[in-house]
Amino acid sequence: MALELIGNLIRILEQEGISYCHWKSNAAMKETMAGEDDLDLLAAQEDKGRFLSVLARLNFIRATAYNDSWFPDITHYYGYDSESGKVVHVHLHFKLILGYDLIKNYHLPLEDVFLRNAGGEGVLKTPACELDLIVFVIRMVLKRRLICFLLGGPRYWLKGCFGKRWKVLSKTDRRDLKYLQGNVSKEKLEECRREYFPFLSGELFDYCLSSIGPGAGRYGWFWAGRRLVCALKGFHRYGAERAVLLAVVRRLKGKIKSLFRGLRLAKPTRKRLSPAGKIIAFVGGDGAGKTTNIRILHSWLGRYFDVRSLHVGRPTKGVLWYFVIMLLRIRKLLQVHRWILGKPSDNFHRSVKYLLMARYRYRAFCKAVRLRSRGVLVLLDRIPLPGLEFMDKPRIRDLTGGRGIYGSLAAWEEKYHREIRGADELIVLRLDPKIAAHRRPEDEQEKLADRSRSIWERKWPKGYAHLIDSSQPLVEVEREIRDIVWTGLRRQVKIIELIGPAGAGKSAVAERLLDETCNVQTSLSWKKYRMKCVVRLLPKLVSLLCQKVPFRYLRYLVNLETNLTVLQNHKSRWILPCCNLVLDEGPVFRWASLKQSAANSGMAGIFENNSWLQNLEARIGEVLDTVVWLDAPDEVLRARINQKVRNHRMKDKPEEIVDLFLNDYRRLFTEIVGDGTGKIAVKRFDTEQVSIEDVLEGIKALL
């Protein structure tokens, strides 16, 4: 019986009129339809965009293997059938690339022939068996050439030369050959060979077939491979010397990686998510099942993707921890604290331990961000969140009051926790405190109840925290987690900028958003990337200096270029800690400020006929998903500016000057972002008519 997901895929492809076929391993069609085997689909190049949109509609996600760059026309997509809990692997081909797995050096330009001769309604379309058999024979012979035999290793050599049960084909390949031979007629096979494979003589095809068939000689594949390569001379992708060199180099790299994995110096190779991985954090009280569900999820997804588990609540400690702990013990033995702190106290010892723990939590989260940028799916066991009273929170200030040296230690600890800005998805396992006490009778009941109650009664951010009742049976909890995680794997980065004239309420909205959400960042740290941009832009900067452009404008331009570069890299590789960005002062604001400053000083001419500066403005539209424009009537904005606690250059200025200032910024914003019908989507709010809560709800809906 076909899986619902595969059935939906077939139905939509037929409705859309997309050309495709399942072009190999058709003998196991029953297992393929049940999701037990991969779907090796061949699709027309001109239908590529429509095919990928169908996969996206069915919540398929792309994964990349280490060798994907070798074969750019072959990709991997994975879908999740929630009814059965199975993952479906679509191995998508846009060209018929054949040969040894390390190089696949031959391209047969017969994709249209396969697709025209594909048939089958209600099931996966398959090519004519005659076409399938001829290509199968070519594939099997090309996989068993001399170079393939030599790179197989000593065990393969001995088995091939002296093994009594040497089989040219594997068990599954012998099954496919038997199936194809039983479903073709000799007349149609010969007609198909003459029409579509004129380079392959009948005698050579029969010889190749006999070299891999039952009763084949031990070395017949060698001579068949040599003759077949000569016949396929016009279809190779690389020359003979380069193909051999590539195969040898790739084989050596594979052996080195295997050696490192054997020595436990490298992780097993798995496919990675594209364009970037995800960070899934689990939060819950003791007994809620965090560790159990992480282990189950790791086992499930680890069969397909590169998955890592990190414990942020109790992170792995480094050499610094043990060194400092040793010094603290020596200090305690010598009672040095009498001279440093004035009285016997254990607070200093505990404060240093809390600070080190916060540092290692932050380092574990930074490691998770690095792994995510490489396409790894990271599962976090616990994560510090603002508002949690009994778990993973800064403790030094509560312990010591934060006076003297303890104030510096407390500020340092709080900074580490503040830098851990949530995860891409947060799964909250909620468990009634009474059930938690029943599950963990050996724990201290008062602490257990406090921890469970803090999770059970907390108001979690809507749309970000996924609440699961962990008192359900484990199977139901596991099903809910799988659905949540698979939906989260498809979620993309959203970059939003708040714009508007002074007094519109951008800073107030950004502060509230930061307090109420755990996975949103409202500012951008990009200074560590600035030097690279300066070096890359040096010729352009020198050119502008020669045009007598003031140095302060060059600094603005470098900052804007760096800002855009970081945002573009985050959109493609998720390099920043937070998935989503809602910027208070983003590229639109910086560009408008630069243009306004240049206009006021008579330097507006630098923006004309300069391709780099015009490209900067175009890139703003590529980076931003939405611009949220906050505005209000001029009299309201003037009153808000005059009420600001911080100094503003328009504060207490005459009405005419303030109105001119506000209208200039509105004009500049309109020039950059347009009216919302162009490349940048614009959502407007009149902050006199709507409250901050309404604006926040609108932004959360965009995320």
Question: Pick from 620, 609, 596, 595: which is nearest to 680 by CA?
Answer: 620
User: For every residue of 474-528, which 3-state class applies, written as one string?
Assistant: HHHHHHHHHHHHHHHHCCCCCEEEEECCCCCCHHHHHHHHHHHCCCEECCCCCHH
* % the chain with pLDDT above 70: 93
The pLDDT assigned to 102 comes to 86
Whether 577 and 499 have beta carbons less than 8 Å apart is answered as: no
Question: Pick from 459, 119, 489, 67: which is nearest to 249 by CA?
Answer: 67
* % the chain with pLDDT above 90: 32
The pLDDT assigned to 516 comes to 78
Decide if pLDDT at 465 tops 70: yes
Whether 79 and 58 have beta carbons less than 8 Å apart is answered as: yes
Decide if pLDDT at 309 tops 80: yes
Q: How many CB atoms lie within 10 A of CB 68?
A: 16
The pLDDT assigned to 339 comes to 52
Strands 61-64 and 272-273: antiparallel
Tokens at residue 233, please? 């001379």
Which of 248-252, 272-276, 306-310, 619-623 ranks highest by mean pLDDT? Answer: 306-310
Decide if pLDDT at 336 tops 60: no
Whether 561 and 569 have beta carbons less than 8 Å apart is answered as: no
Q: Residue 629 has what DSSP assignment?
A: E
> What is the Cβ-side half-sphere exposure of residue 222, based on CA atoms within 13 angstroms?
9
Decide if pLDDT at 166 tops 60: no
Helix (H) or strand (E) holding 562: helix 551-573
Identify the three-state secondary structure at position 90.
strand
Task: Convert the pLDDT of each residue in 435-461 to its tens digit.
Answer: 888 888 777 777 778 788 888 888 887
* pLDDT top residue among 451 and 679: 451
Q: How far apart are the C-alpha atoms of 264 and 60, rounded to whole Å?
A: 32
Q: Residue 371 has what DSSP assignment?
A: H
Which of 38-47, 162-171, 640-649, 670-679 ranks highest by mean pLDDT? Answer: 38-47
The pLDDT assigned to 215 comes to 72
Q: Where are the domains of the chain?
A: 1-127, 129-237, 275-489, 495-702
Task: Convert the pLDDT of each residue in 115-144 to its tens digit.
Answer: 998 887 668 899 999 999 999 999 999 988
| CATH architecture of the region 275-489 | 3-Layer(aba) Sandwich (3.40)
Task: Convert the pLDDT of each residue in 212-257 to its tens digit.
Answer: 887 776 677 788 888 998 999 889 888 888 888 888 888 888 888 8
Decide if pLDDT at 381 tops 50: yes
Confidence of residue 552 (pLDDT cuts 50, 70, 90): confident
Confidence of residue 342 (pLDDT cuts 50, 70, 90): very low
The pLDDT assigned to 273 comes to 92
Q: What is the CATH topology of the domain spanning 1-127? A: Beta Polymerase; domain 2 (3.30.460)
The pLDDT assigned to 464 comes to 81
* CA 494 and chain centroid, separation: 13
Q: Which long-range contacts (CB under 8 A, 24 or more apart) does 442-450 make?
A: 443/286, 443/287, 447/390, 448/285, 448/286, 448/287, 450/389, 450/390
Mean pLDDT calculated for residue range 187-194: 92
Task: Convert the pLDDT of each residue in 608-620 to its tens digit.
Answer: 667 777 788 888 8
pTM: 0.87
Quick one: 235 exposed, middle or buried, by C-beta within 10 A (0-12, 13-18, 19+)?
Answer: middle
The pLDDT assigned to 156 comes to 65
Mean pLDDT calculated for residue range 667-673: 86
Q: Do domains 1-127 and 495-702 have the same CATH topology?
A: no
Decide if pLDDT at 63 tops 90: yes
Which of 169-178, 235-244, 289-298 ranks highest by mean pLDDT? Answer: 289-298
Backbone φ and ψ for 62, nearest 5 degrees, come out as -90, 145
The pLDDT assigned to 513 comes to 87
Confidence of residue 74 (pLDDT cuts 50, 70, 90): very high
Task: Convert the pLDDT of each residue in 489-530 to its tens digit.
Answer: 988 889 999 998 888 888 889 888 887 777 888 887 777 777
What value does the mean pLDDT of the chain take? 85
Is the previous residue joined to 577 through a cis bond, with omega within 30 degrees of 0?
Answer: no
> What is the assigned CATH class of domain 495-702?
alpha beta
Strands (E), 401-479: 425-430, 465-469
Lowest mean pLDDT, pick from 72-86, 104-118, 369-383, 634-648: 634-648
Q: What is the DSSP string of 631-642?
A: E--HHHHHHHHH
Task: Convert the pLDDT of each residue in 23-59 to its tens digit.
Answer: 888 888 888 888 888 999 999 999 999 999 999 999 9
Task: Convert the pLDDT of each residue in 149-162 to its tens digit.
Answer: 777 777 666 666 66
Quick one: 605 exposed, middle or buried, by C-beta within 10 A (0-12, 13-18, 19+)?
Answer: exposed
Task: Convert the pLDDT of each residue in 623-639 to its tens digit.
Answer: 998 999 999 988 888 88
The pLDDT assigned to 343 comes to 47
Question: Pick from 625, 579, 374, 623: which is nearest to 464 by CA?
Answer: 579
